[in-house]
Structure 1
């Protein structure tokens, strides 16, 4: 199985690359038409949610810088 890579883009989408499946809240898969790279909307402005359509340009400000999460609660 290929490792899936998720990149949080500055001022934009979350890009997903690899062998993945995306399902809705009921577990139904989206038809990705064989794509192995897609972008998910993070700004909420896309007319094609959950997928990014570029509507964020000029309307979404977030500098994506990696950080460590606190320890998991047990």
Structure 2
């Protein structure tokens, strides 16, 4: 199991989410702590996600 001092890789996706190698613990601006034990976590960068702080692909342009 990784220790808190182990490096994590964060990949910035242009126009999309930040991909963080997990497991992760996210602290939101109101102090709420959200955890995920997935091996890669998509963190919303645009705040449009209904599952914020996790990405649900709401940033994608809608096409008909």
Relative to the length of structure 2, the TM-score reads 0.68
Unaligned runs of 5+ in 1: 60-74
Number of residue pairs aligned between Structure 1 and Structure 2: 58
Greater relative contact order structure (CA < 8 Å, 6+ sep):
1
Whether contact under 8 Å (1:3, 1:18) holds in the other structure is no
User: Moved runs in structure 1, 4+ residues, more than 2 A?
Assistant: 23-29
Q: Which has the higher strand share?
A: 2
Relative to the length of structure 1, the TM-score reads 0.60
Shift of residue 28, structure 1, vs aligned partner:
4.2
